Amino acid sequence: NAGVMQNPRHLVRRRGQEARLRCSPMKGHSHVYWYRQLPEEGLKFMVYLQKENIIDESGMPKERFSAEFPKEGPSILRIQQVVRGDSAAYFCASSAKDRGAIGYTFGSGTRLTVV
The residue ranges that bind another protein (CB under 8 A) are: 3-4, 33, 35, 40-45, 48, 55-56, 59, 91, 100-102, 104, 106-109
Which DSSP string corresponds to 25-55?
PPTT--EEEEEEE-TTS-EEEEEEEETTEEE
Q: Output 29 or 82, the one with its CB closest to another protein.
A: 29
Q: At its nearest, how many Å lie between another protein and the CB of residue 50?
A: 11
DSSP conformational letter for 81: S
Query: Is the CB of 87 or the CB of 106 nearer to another protein?
Result: 106
